[in-house]
Amino acid sequence: MTLADLGWNDIFEKEFTPYYQNGWKPARLIRDNKITYGALLIDAKKKIDEREVIMSGKVYHDAECDADLPAVGDWVALDLGEENVIRARLARQTCFSRKAAGHSAEEQVIAANVTTVIVVTDAGPDFNLRRMERYFTIIARSGAKPVVVVNKSDLYPEKQNQEAAEAIRALHKDAEVFVTSVEKRKGVRALKPYFKKGQTVAFIGSSGVGKSAMINLVLGDDWQWTDEVNEVTGKGRHTTTARELLILDKGGIIVDNPGIREVQMWTDERTLRERFADISALTLNCRFDNCKHGKDAGCAIRDAVEQKQLDPARHESFLKLDEEIEALRRQRKKRQMTIERITKRDYHIRHKKHLDRRERHE
């Protein structure tokens, strides 16, 4: 293993020159525990060395906002000693982040230095061009390369899959779009070029579209990638000290963390709000700042309805917007709990398989 296997390149090397002179070491962050971080280094024997590290006061104080703080995927300069201290964060080459609607200053970095974002969808119930457009926007902002996979092709007629892929290509001419079936192992090989030494890949998309199934394929034997992958990367993956970056033995890095898993939820929330942007704008004309837009005097929205400029049904939906968003949040929480349960179960199953394999080899 070399630093390049973890995503290091010439640009980072150049920026690091003064840090080498201080005796600091390059490391990539694989976990954010808020106060401490997990970091990977390459030791003198060219093996991965995983350390618990902390941020220096300077790094903390120099950060102008949360987004400036080190995040998963970042490269940092580490001062190794009794405590391993992050002395500096290298400039991000890409940055996949969430920006709160309306507050451009509030940015939450989900993963830094991601090379490729693979959006997984299907040609059936998940297919939604508006959401896809939003994904393209956040991917473009991150600087990563967008790739789309229309999965579950076994469930829909070929024509439907192709039309879905075409419609997505029409949205974004530079995006590579593939039709796959993880279930039938069809088309998945097309993704192989994205799993190369030093390339960092994130999978996003709705719950149930097959992201985990796809990650398991990539991690598994289907591409003749060795079992040792799990030995290198699997360690404690689903415990609280999970690695959010999985380093593949045969090249490639996968980012998988709660932030990535939630991308669909918050993009949908934003889409929902935006659908009512015109009505939100109207509220500026309400007589009272705290207008509930129901029976309140001088309500600009009610006026618009009375003057037949606004469909009463949309007014009704607007009043329910907060409830709808609340429902989305509840759904997200429930889903998160289910994911935790499933990953725990999967971990136990995989761990057992791993032990079985070891026994057989011994």
Does residue 293 interact with Zn ion by CB under 5 A?
A: yes
Does residue 279 interact with Zn ion by CB under 5 A?
A: no
Burial class (CB within 10 angstroms; exposed 0-12, middle 13-18, buried 19+) of 4: middle
Does residue 155 interact with ligand GTP by CB under 6 A?
A: yes
Write down the H helix ranges in the chain. 10-21, 57-62, 129-142, 158-171, 211-219, 228-233, 258-261, 263-275, 277-282, 300-306, 312-319, 321-361
On whether 291 is known to bind a ligand per the annotation, the reply is yes
Among 4, 66, 12, residue whose Cα is nearest residue 40: 4
Does residue 321 interact with Zn ion by CB under 5 A?
A: no
209 binds, among Zn ion, ligand GTP, none (CB under 5 to 8 A by kind): ligand GTP
Burial class (CB within 10 angstroms; exposed 0-12, middle 13-18, buried 19+) of 155: middle
Does residue 113 interact with ligand GTP by CB under 6 A?
A: no
213 binds, among ligand GTP, Zn ion, none (CB under 5 to 8 A by kind): ligand GTP
Q: In this complex, which beta carbon is closest to ligand GTP, that of residue 29 or of residue 188? A: 188
- Binder of ligand GTP out of 26, 38, 70, 210 (CB under 6 A): 210
Q: From CA 151, how far away is CA 165, in angstroms rounded? A: 10
On whether 293 is known to bind a ligand per the annotation, the reply is yes
Q: What angle do CA 311, 317, 322 make, to 5 degrees?
A: 145
- Binder of Zn ion out of 1, 4, 272, 291 (CB under 5 A): 291
Q: From CA 302, how far away is CA 272, in angstroms rounded? A: 21
Among 269, 141, 119, residue whose Cα is nearest residue 202: 119
Look up residue 253 and give its two tokens. Answer: 């890095």
Least separation in angstroms between CB 306 and Zn ion = 12
286 binds, among ligand GTP, Zn ion, none (CB under 5 to 8 A by kind): Zn ion
On whether 65 is known to bind a ligand per the annotation, the reply is no
351 binds, among ligand GTP, Zn ion, none (CB under 5 to 8 A by kind): none
Stretch that binds ligand GTP, among 10-18, 149-157, 273-281, 353-361 (CB under 6 A): 149-157
For residue 97, report the phi and psi dihedrals to the nearest 5 degrees.
-140, 165
On whether 353 is known to bind a ligand per the annotation, the reply is no
On whether 151 is known to bind a ligand per the annotation, the reply is yes
On whether 186 is known to bind a ligand per the annotation, the reply is no
Residues forming contacts to Zn ion in the complex (CB under 5 A) are 286, 291, 293, 299, 301
**Sequence ranges of the binding site for GTP:** 151-154
